[in-house]
Amino acid sequence: MMTQLTQRSQTKVFEGLHAQYSHNSAALNCTMQFAIFLPPAASKETPVPVLYWLSGLTCTDENFMQKAGALKLAAELGIAIVAPDTSPRGDDIPDDPDQAYDFGKGAGFYLNATQAPWHEHYHMYDYVVDELPKIIEAEFPVTTSKSISGHSMGGHGSLTIALKNPQSYCSVSALAPIANPSNGLWGQKAFTNYLGSDRSAWHEYDATELIKERGYDKPILADVGTADSFETEELHSQTFLEAAEAAGVSIEFNFREGYDHGFYFVASFIENHLHFHAKHLFAT
């Protein structure tokens, strides 16, 4: 696969390298940017496994890399981290006409839109599942072993992508995931606009519905703060857990006392998630 990458930045950190690249995306029909952290162990002779990180509403490739405090441990564990942007970008990309934060640019919801005008660009599912991993594996010293994680909207993305592609990921984790978007205001707005009014089409991008219908036999870890103000109306953790239990799927799900939805919460538990993924990435 020949993809022209343009390096936007490169910085040494914890003896590894953090870099940003842009490229023309066939899946999204626009120029996209992603960030990659390569640990010091990574080389052509010793390629390393990859953790794909999906960020939440309003985020870009930068938020997690700068705020989560994940790079030191990733360097020690020998894991690359790839963080794509959260939606297509550019002046020609349609956006929420009201400029709201929960739809359009910055809010791609990791799905393939079917409704105009969104269907020409908003194919984040194809980008994350297919196009971006092919680029990473062709251009960087990594193996084909990969796991996936994310926060909030990105937690929704990591769960739905893993549930739909169990053969592709060694493990999946999520922090404060939107676990039943069909029953939340964010999800209903996004799904109606991107996918249309037929709720059966929404099931393909709803972790609760997917785990009911398909089950899952790979390791899952999730954390939610008990002081997360979005839990009741947007996240629906308990609904997801009940669906998993009914389907016979085991999940390590932690309710973290007093934590809210933000990056202080992510930073507090990201090392647990990195250790979790390392266990399964290096078991293959």
Active site residues: 152, 228, 261
31 neighbors 57 (Cβ within 8 angstroms): no
Residue type, 125: Y
Element (H, E) at 19: strand 16-25
Beta bridge partners of 146: 50
- Three-state secondary-structure class, residue 235: helix
With CA atoms as reference, report the closest residue to 253 among 274, 231, 234, 225: 225
Element (H, E) at 6: strand 6-13
Q: What is the dihedral of CA 81, 130, 158, 120, to 10 degrees?
A: 120
With CA atoms as reference, report the closest residue to 16 among 70, 83, 85, 86: 70
70 neighbors 266 (Cβ within 8 angstroms): no
Q: Which residues of 175-200 are buried (b: 16+ CB within 10 A; e: fewer)?
A: bbbbbbbbebebbebbbebbbeeeee
Q: How far is residue 219's CA from residue 36's CA, in Å, rounded to a whole number?
A: 24
